[in-house]
Structure 1
């Protein structure tokens, strides 16, 4: 036990005196949470929209006021002709144009129907569809306010309710994903590189002839990164609460316990990579590229797994980040307990045990 503590202290000293390692360990989580929290979001807001009001009557002004009051749009000044509208789209200055024809209010009051033209930039189809839906919702809301209750004999009015995220903020989706991504990259890469470094420097041979058991060598490498990764979890949660306004709805001890399990899973994966490689460059390349793309593609926080072909859905089950992402969303966002995430917890535990057995067996074979 004393020897283990000595090696753990040595590994801590190596990490703390290496500024590049500290930058990766603690700088990467902060940068990624800021980028995903503020820059990369699936919310569409503050889009430039052009209003052309040929009617200039009370109805058009009321509808324009409702559009202007929405946080989704920023109204630009109206051009003099349609060529300027087209030029605005070509130059990327506007994302949408709403054109009110003359006699808009007159047609609405006397003919009980009025038309207006909505033009969107469909070079980004998802963004255009979202903006169209926003404008349509505002128009329908305005129409429901001006329509007398007895004007339509039969009406079906759906009452919608958004659970867990009423404001539809993208941060509710990105924070759990960033936690999975950061822990996966940091834990796997740091552990893999640290063990391979011992091979390249020749110190591993010294450990081989010592009475120090191989399992203790692995533990002495993994424990420091386990503790440092838990600090990363704390920093991400603090940034989420105080900077991104994302409260933790569930149990904090449960969230930390599940995060510890996922960190151990990532550490065992890093150990597995280290025993299969012989150079730091190879270990780093496999850890970065081999873990980055599967985590982004198959964890579910960037692309819905349900929309993928069946073979890819099956492959995603082998990605630990997928199960941790589900766990964090269930505990942090939905406020659920262990009864809702026991299956994902067992899967992560199984992956950890399998990786650890394979790694230890491969490590012993390499030592003989």
Structure 2
């Protein structure tokens, strides 16, 4: 065991000497969570809108104030006629126009309801749909306050957003970035580290040393286990402390999920090192076979339900998918082991498969 410990210390010192790479690996998670939290967001905030008020009464003025006070919209223009509305939409001065029909206040008391038209710039289709949905909800709520709950009115639709009532996009960023960073540090750096030994010819020296093959692999990957845990902790600290992401479940169970995912990523990196002849190929495989699927097919950015059926089935082969699902239910729903056991078993199955393939390929190379 003394030889193994000395080998682990040697590998750790080798990583610490490369301060440039180490600084990138430590600062990258913080940069990623800050960028995804502040910049990449699907939330509506201060969207530019204009209002054409044909009613000119207290009710229409109240609707304008309600839209402006919601925090979703910023009233940039007050239009006089339809020509100004069309010109503003065409030029991009506003993202949506709200046209309040004549007699809005009195029409609200009629059985047929009032007339409010929402005109959105659909050149950005997703944004336009969200703008219309948000505005429609505000208008309907305001109309209900004006007329009261009456039997002759249409049924009130109540919408509740469970586990993320404010629809903050950063809630999804934390599990996704953890999956991406841990895969990057654990899998890619491990595969490059072991492949470098083969490329420089030092792997043969290690194999004839008193260390056994499993001790060589363990010594190589041990520093990256600690580094991966440090990255996960930094992402969680920023998410919970800065962006107020809730942590409703058990920290111990979350640590177990992270540890299992790190081992899975390490086994994947070891497998890549057994098939890659040099560092360049190992990096290429890691980026295109690991990073892109992690981002595109794990449900991190794009909902799996919206994908074609073929890609939905293919996503079942992506280990990050199950890690993200487990972290989400642990952090946001406070779920326990009884809920995430399936994800843990699937990650264990992937871990066993990659380790088996790695051992098989390693034996073939030795022969």
Q: Same fold (TM over 0.5)?
A: yes
Deviation per CA, 1:271-314, whole angstroms, max 9, x where unpaired? 11111112111111111122121111221121222233333222
Q: Which residue of 1 aligns with 2:78?
A: 78
Q: Is 1:138 matched with 2:138?
A: yes
Change (3 A) 1:345 1:71: same
1:211 positional shift: 2.4
Q: Is the 8 A contact 1:8 1:220 kept in 2?
A: yes
The 5 A counterparts of 1:252-291 are 252-291=251-290
3-state SS, counterpart of residue 78 of structure 2: coil
Q: Which residue of 1 aligns with 2:40?
A: 40
Aligned equivalents of 1:341, 1:277: Cα separation in 2: 34
Q: Which residue of 2 aligns with 1:318?
A: 317
Q: Is 1:124 matched with 2:124?
A: yes
Q: Is 1:89 matched with 2:89?
A: yes
Aligned equivalents of 1:134, 1:23: Cα separation in 2: 42
RMSD: 1.9
Q: Is the 8 A contact 1:215 1:360 kept in 2?
A: no
Change (3 A) 1:110 1:299: closer
Q: Which residue of 2 aligns with 1:237?
A: 236
TM-score (norm 2): 0.94
Q: Is the 8 A contact 2:261 2:347 kept in 1?
A: yes
Change (3 A) 1:184 1:54: same
3-state SS, counterpart of residue 119 of structure 1: strand
Aligned equivalents of 1:192, 1:70: Cα separation in 2: 50
Q: Is the 8 A contact 1:272 1:358 kept in 2?
A: yes
1:79 positional shift: 4.5
Change (3 A) 1:125 1:61: same
Between 1:112-121 and 1:250-259, the stretch displaced more is 112-121
Q: Which residue of 2 aligns with 1:12?
A: 12
3-state SS, counterpart of residue 77 of structure 1: strand
3-state SS, counterpart of residue 178 of structure 1: helix
TM-score (norm 1): 0.94
Aligned equivalents of 1:56, 1:129: Cα separation in 2: 27
Ranges in structure 1 where 5+ consecutive residues have no aligned partner: none
Aligned length: 367
The 5 A counterparts of 1:207-222 are 207-222=206-221
Q: Is the 8 A contact 2:188 2:283 kept in 1?
A: yes
